[in-house]
């Protein structure tokens, strides 16, 4: 029997968790939303069931607790071996799909695929073949689980590789959601973010510019490099490549960079 427990509800709302995290837990454990609980109440038994998860989620990402992340129309397996795909990156896929429609690239490469979120989305939404690498063999293991579960084995071709060292030939589209936390910023990140792999978070603007110099040499005549980045990195890129195009994210922050072969 359900009864309305305002104290239990307050406990949920008062916690340090976001609305998204609370709903994630409620849906996974009880199959209910916070809105539904506000209207219909919550039983003591239900509170007992969700409490350990709420506690855990204060120091650990909900996506890792339930080994699951939502990205565009995909449900992806994730664990500590990969970065949890972010909302902004859904927009990166929109830009990539637009470029694919406009330029019909044949050779597409995603560097640093992590869970495979970008490559799998592009392959399943455009029907194109995507080569996808990561420097972390652990990440490639996770990505291959996701490639199999989304039945994109023939279209997402995974391999371990550092930057562009493992590839040759010309590419029409090179995509990288690169790590964009500076080494000196890492210590100050919230503990919950530091659970994610450091290799997926930390980089330097100079390392990125080296990657871009290499990438520009590997672009075909109609080729483009598309990055998800951060303002400090973008400032540095502009110094070496003044002709870049920058697109803002939905929060108005300079986030996506397009570089074409000159
Ligand atoms: C910000 S995460 C992006 C993960 C995934 N593409 C996404 O958007 O959710 C950066 C990824 O780049 C990988 N990475 C870092 N340095 C790399 C390098 N030198 N070469 C290839 N991949 C690298 C990391 O392992 C990580 O998976």
Q: Separation of 253 CA from ligand 1 center, angstroms?
A: 21
Whether 120 has a pLDDT exceeding 80, the answer reads yes
Number of neighbours of residue 34 by Cβ within 10 angstroms: 17
Closest ligand 1 atom, residue 85 Cα: 9
Which residue's alpha carbon is nearest to atom 7 within ligand 1?
Answer: 85
Whether 11 has a pLDDT exceeding 90, the answer reads no
pLDDT in tens, 86-105: 999 999 999 999 999 999 99
Which residue's alpha carbon is nearest to atom 1 within ligand 1?
Answer: 179
Ligand 1 proximal residues by C-beta, below 6 Å: 83, 85, 89, 111-115, 117-118, 133-136, 139, 162-163, 177, 179, 199-200
Q: Residue ranges per domain, the chain?
A: 6-58, 72-260
Q: Separation of 112 CA from ligand 1 center, angstroms?
A: 3
pLDDT of residue 240: 96
Reported confidence tier of residue 7, pLDDT bands at 50, 70, 90: low
CA 194 to chain centre: 15
Average of per-residue pLDDT values in the chain: 94
Number of neighbours of residue 101 by Cβ within 10 angstroms: 9
Whether 70 has a pLDDT exceeding 70, the answer reads yes
Q: What number is the average pLDDT over the span 18-27?
A: 94
Which residue's alpha carbon is nearest to atom 6 within ligand 1?
Answer: 113
Distance (Å, rounded) from C-alpha 254 to C-alpha 91? 12
- The region of weakest confidence among 3-12, 20-29, 119-128, 217-226 is 3-12
Q: What number of residues does the chain have? A: 262
Whether 148 has a pLDDT exceeding 90, the answer reads yes
Whether 111 has a pLDDT exceeding 90, the answer reads yes
Q: What number is the average pLDDT over the span 205-216?
A: 97
Which residue's alpha carbon is nearest to atom 4 within ligand 1?
Answer: 114
Q: Separation of 140 CA from ligand 1 center, angstroms?
A: 10
Reported confidence tier of residue 2, pLDDT bands at 50, 70, 90: low
Q: Which of 244, 221, 217 lies closest to 106 in space, CA to CA?
A: 221
pTM of the predicted structure, to 2 decimals: 0.95
Q: Which of 166, 188, 186 lies closest to 113 in space, CA to CA?
A: 166
- Ligand 1 pocket, mutate which of 83, 108, 214 (most atoms under 8 A from CB): 83
Closest ligand 1 atom, residue 197 Cα: 25
Reported confidence tier of residue 6, pLDDT bands at 50, 70, 90: low
Q: Separation of 81 CA from ligand 1 center, angstroms?
A: 11
CATH code linked to domain 72-260: 3.40.50.150
């Amino acid at each position: 029997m359900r009864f309305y427990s305002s104290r239990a509800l307050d406990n949920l709302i008062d916690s340090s968790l976001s609305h998204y995290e609370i709903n994630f837990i409620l849906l996974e454990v009880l199959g209910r939303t916070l809105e539904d609980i506000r209207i219909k109440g919550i039983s003591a038994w239900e509170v007992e069931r969700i409490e350990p998860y709420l506690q855990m989620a204060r120091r650990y990402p909900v996506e890792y607790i339930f080994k699951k992340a939502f990205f565009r129309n995909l449900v992806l397996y994730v664990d500590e071996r990969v970065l949890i795909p972010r909302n902004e990156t859904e927009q990166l896929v929109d830009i990539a799909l637009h470029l694919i429609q406009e330029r019909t690239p044949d050779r597409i490469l995603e560097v640093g695929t992590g869970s495979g979120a970008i490559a799998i989305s592009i392959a399943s939404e455009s029907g194109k073949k995507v080569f996808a690498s990561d420097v972390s063999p652990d990440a490639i293991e996770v990505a291959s689980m996701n490639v199999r579960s989304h039945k994109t084995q023939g279209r997402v071709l995974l391999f371990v590789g550092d930057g562009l060292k493992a590839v040759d030939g010309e590419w029409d589209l090179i995509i990288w959601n690169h790590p964009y936390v500076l080494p000196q910023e890492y210590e100050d990140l919230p503990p919950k973010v530091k659970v994610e792999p450091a290799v997926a978070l930390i980089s330097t603007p100079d390392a990125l510019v080296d990657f871009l110099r290499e990438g520009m040499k590997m672009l075909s005549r109609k080729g483009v490099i598309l990055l998800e980045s951060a303002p400090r990195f973008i400032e540095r890129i502009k110094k070496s490549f003044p002709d870049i195009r920058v697109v803002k994210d939905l929060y108005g922050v300079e986030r996506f960079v397009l570089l074409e072969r000159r």
